[in-house]
Amino acid sequence: MKKTILITMLGLSITASAQNPIIQTHYTADPAPMVKGDTLFVYADVDEPKANFFWMYQWRVYSTTDMVNWTDHGELLGLNSFSWADDRAWATQCCERDGKYYWYICAHSKLSGGMAIGVAVSDSPTGPFKDAIGHPLYDDGKWDNIDPTVLMDGKNAYLVWGNPEIHQAKLADNMTSFDGEVSIIRQDEKSFGAPSPAFRKKEIKYKDIYVEGPWLAKHNKNYYLLYSAGGVPEHIAYSMSRKPQGPWIYKGIIMPQKNETNSFTNHCGIIDFKGHNYFFYHTGNLPGGGGFDRSIAVEEFKYNKDGTIPIIFPTREGVKPTDTLNPFQKVKASTIAWEKGLTTEQNLKAGVYMTDIQNGDWMKVREVNFSSQPKKINISAASASQGGTIELHADSISGKMIATINIPSTGGWESFSNFSTNTLIPVIGVHDLFFVFHGQKGRKLMNFSWWEMEK
């Protein structure tokens, strides 16, 4: 998916200082954040370029330790991971229980002809994942069964999903079956702004309408159910409760729909990380983007004193860094803050790597902490053409050149070799690091796997 550096968002031109959307190498949607230790993971589904519907086939995982550099862990689940699924790899969420990771998905079921809820399991937040039970967790042949959200609340786990009805169930301890029956949450004006679909009247303008994309969360002693609302185009609204399964009280709109997102859908997830509160959502603001080619973004917010959530508006600036990046260790090339022109691919040996690199393309890594003077840089790259050159610049595309390294042909696009060069100038302190690629115009130059500095 080739890109240009200029993106129009909110009537402004995005430059190298932009942070939203946080993923630029693929069209991603329906963000589901999860925290493990000092790392925040985002589980996402993927829109295909130039789509005219939600034809979606894979789920990817991204992670960060600093909120500005994001590592692409690749396609960790796909429709082919579930023998019963054949289309529409839509919204998901993952959670941990007793050292295992349960990833709840929805997809079209070839067993029933409707949408169904499934679950995959792994010993790691980045897989490998496999279908945990070999059949859908819930499949009643209806199209309601989309957008599962899961909440671990002490020793109890709860699952919520649905469009336009809201389904809920308590999960059993094994996380792959239900503890009790699946029930439908009764909607009314007090709880969600409008009655359940069967009881709505066309002549009445309700204060809001639940649509889809629920997100179940807890903060302090309050429970939150966030959701896409209002019809098309969607905004984000929420309800609160003192119990994980309600009763719910409608609280209002969180992210209004004013077309800043360039997407007629929205889907959110909220999470606390390193003492900060974050709101994830999606837009259509990448080049070529729109309602069927979306892109994940994030904003920081603070809960009001009474526990309610303030109104949050989309920005191009995104959030501030929470940490720095250590360059004196192997860093995957798929760990970036921003890029121009690149995408990622993966294989079993190299993992995820940067590809589609052409003359003039670049990528930025933010908040790189040169605690000592680097004397050498090592790079792993591959080329089946005549290769090219990688320049390393400090703080901007045309900033001081730290190093330049020639990448020759390695005999194949996945024949990765290691290359080293000495740094040209001293650099100390925290800087943004730009990798700028040069070579023959109009053709692919190389693939880029990882880099590291030496003191």
How far are the Cα atoms of 87, 267, 339 from residue 195, in angstroms, in the given order?
Answer: 31, 21, 45
Residue 264 resides in a domain = yes
Determine the structural domain holding residue 409 and report its residue range. Answer: 331-454
Is residue 208 domain-shared with residue 337, that is, in the same domain?
no
What's the pLDDT score for residue 1? Answer: 43
Which amino acid makes up residue 145? N
pLDDT of residue 2 exceeding 90, the answer is no
Residue 422 resides in a domain = yes
Is residue 438 domain-shared with residue 372, that is, in the same domain?
yes
d(CA 78, CA 89): 7
Residue 3 resides in a domain = no
Q: What is the pLDDT of residues 231-261, one digit of tens each?
A: 999 999 999 999 999 999 999 999 999 889 9
Residue 108 resides in a domain = yes
- The secondary structure of 129-156 as a DSSP string is -EESSSS-SB--S-TT----EEEEETTE
Q: What's the average model confidence in pLDDT over 431-440?
A: 98
What's the pLDDT score for residue 18? Answer: 82
Residue 316 resides in a domain = no
What's the pLDDT score for residue 11? Answer: 31
Q: What does the chain come to in residues?
A: 455
Contact 293, 28 (CB under 8 A): no
Q: What's the average model confidence in pLDDT over 346-360?
A: 97
Is residue 226 domain-shared with residue 357, that is, in the same domain?
no
Which of 48, 185, 156, 41 shows the shortest CA–CA distance to 103?
41
Is residue 152 domain-shared with residue 279, that is, in the same domain?
yes
Residue 11 resides in a domain = no
Question: Phi and psi (nearest 5°) for 314?
Answer: -70, 140
Is residue 288 domain-shared with residue 337, that is, in the same domain?
no
Is residue 276 domain-shared with residue 344, that is, in the same domain?
no
Is residue 89 domain-shared with residue 178, that is, in the same domain?
yes
Q: What is the pLDDT of residues 174-226, one digit of tens each?
A: 999 999 999 999 999 999 999 999 999 999 999 999 999 999 999 999 999 99
CATH number for the domain that contains residue 404: 2.60.120.260
Contact 144, 101 (CB under 8 A): no
Which structure tokens are listed for 21? 């959307």
Which of 281, 301, 321 is a domain's end point? 301
* Sign of the four-CA dihedral 7, 361, 344, 421: negative
Three-state DSSP class for residue 268: coil
Which of 279, 301, 323 is a domain's end point? 301
pLDDT of residue 4 exceeding 60, the answer is no
What's the pLDDT score for residue 314? Answer: 97
Is residue 284 domain-shared with residue 348, that is, in the same domain?
no
Contact 62, 42 (CB under 8 A): yes
Residue 122 resides in a domain = yes
Which residues lie below 8 Å from residue 14, measured CB to CB, with a gap of 6+? 5, 6, 7, 8, 316
Q: How many domains does the chain have?
A: 2
CATH number for the domain that contains residue 209: 2.115.10.20
pLDDT of residue 378 exceeding 90, the answer is yes
Residue 319 resides in a domain = no
What's the pLDDT score for residue 54? Answer: 96
Which of 301, 317, 345 is a domain's end point? 301
What's the pLDDT score for residue 259? Answer: 84
Is residue 336 domain-shared with residue 266, that is, in the same domain?
no
Is residue 276 domain-shared with residue 353, that is, in the same domain?
no
Contact 363, 342 (CB under 8 A): yes
Is residue 76 domain-shared with residue 134, that is, in the same domain?
yes
Contact 297, 269 (CB under 8 A): no
Q: What is the pLDDT of residues 189-199, one digit of tens each?
A: 999 999 999 99
Is residue 182 domain-shared with residue 246, that is, in the same domain?
yes
Q: How far is CA 162 from the centre of its chain?
A: 21
- The secondary structure of 360-414 as a DSSP string is T-EEEEEEEEESS---EEEEEEEESSS-EEEEEEESSTTS-EEEEEEE---SEEE
The residue to which tokens 């360059």 are assigned = 327
d(CA 148, CA 213): 8
pLDDT of residue 15 exceeding 70, the answer is no
Question: Phi and psi (nearest 5°) for 244?
Answer: -65, -20
